[in-house]
């Protein structure tokens, strides 16, 4: 049994297809070498091309009437969808760039607003200090005015005291003169 060969159906099929291929190649080679066959083939190819063009036009007309898309319509739609996707990609990229620039601009604006807030706070503090200084200056002015009024009052008192002193001195000198006169007069009485 080991000497018996197993039947392989594909081996026979390969042999037959190889023979058919050789014969068809030989036949085609012989036909293409014939001028009449080449002319006939040319005419057949041209008529087939015209027939296919006529069929394509009729298909487009019928598809337009029935409102069914043709290969050309599908190709146009595919081309438009690709162009649309490319434009969407470009727009997305531009939107990302805008978002990035807006983010940086917002950060810059935030920093600027924080700086403005700090400047306004400093101005407020300085204004409060100036208001306190103005209030203190006003108080000093009022105190100075009171001191001036007090000095004026003191000057008046000084003048009055000076006049009183003069009057007292005049009164004392008169008293001394009276005393002298009286003491002098009393000595005369004592003498007598």
- Tell me the per-residue pLDDT of 42-80, one tens digit each, with 9 for 90 and over: 999 999 999 999 998 998 888 888 888 888 888 999 999
Please check whether residue 173 lies inside any domain of the structure: no
Please check whether residue 33 lies inside any domain of the structure: yes
Residue-wise pLDDT for 105-149, tens only, equals: 888 888 999 999 999 999 999 999 999 999 999 998 998 898 888
- pTM over 0.85, yes/no: no
Please check whether residue 185 lies inside any domain of the structure: no
Please check whether residue 147 lies inside any domain of the structure: no
d(CA 172, CA 61): 149
Question: In the chain, how many domains are there?
Answer: 1
- Domain carrying residue 28: 8-68
CB 69 within 8 A of CB 63: yes
Please check whether residue 144 lies inside any domain of the structure: no
Please check whether residue 123 lies inside any domain of the structure: no
In order of 162, 168, 173, the CA distances from 177 in angstroms are 22, 14, 6
Q: What are phi and psi of 82, to 5 degrees?
A: -65, -45
Quick one: tokens of 48?
């087939």
């Amino acid at each position: 049994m080991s000497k018996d060969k197993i039947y392989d159906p594909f081996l026979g099929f390969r042999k037959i297809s190889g023979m058919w291929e050789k014969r068809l190649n030989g036949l085609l080679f012989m036909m293409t070498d014939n001028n009449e066959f080449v002319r006939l083939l040319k005419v057949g190819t041209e008529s087939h091309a015209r027939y296919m063009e006529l069929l394509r036009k009729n298909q487009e007309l019928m598809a337009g009437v029935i409102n069914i898309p043709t290969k050309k319509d599908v190709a146009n739609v595919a081309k438009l969808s690709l162009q649309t996707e490319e434009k969407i990609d470009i727009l997305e990229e531009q939107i990302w760039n805008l978002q990035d620039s807006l983010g940086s601009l917002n950060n810059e604006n935030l920093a600027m607003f924080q700086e403005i807030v700090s400047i306004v706070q400093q101005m407020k503090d300085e204004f409060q200090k100036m208001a306190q200084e103005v209030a203190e200056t006003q108080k000093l002015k009022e105190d100075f005015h009171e001191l001036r009024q007090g000095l004026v009052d003191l000057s008046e008192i000084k003048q009055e005291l000076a006049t009183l002193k003069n009057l007292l001195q005049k009164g004392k000198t008169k008293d001394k003169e009276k005393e002298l006169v009286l003491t002098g007069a009393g000595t005369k009485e004592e003498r007598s």
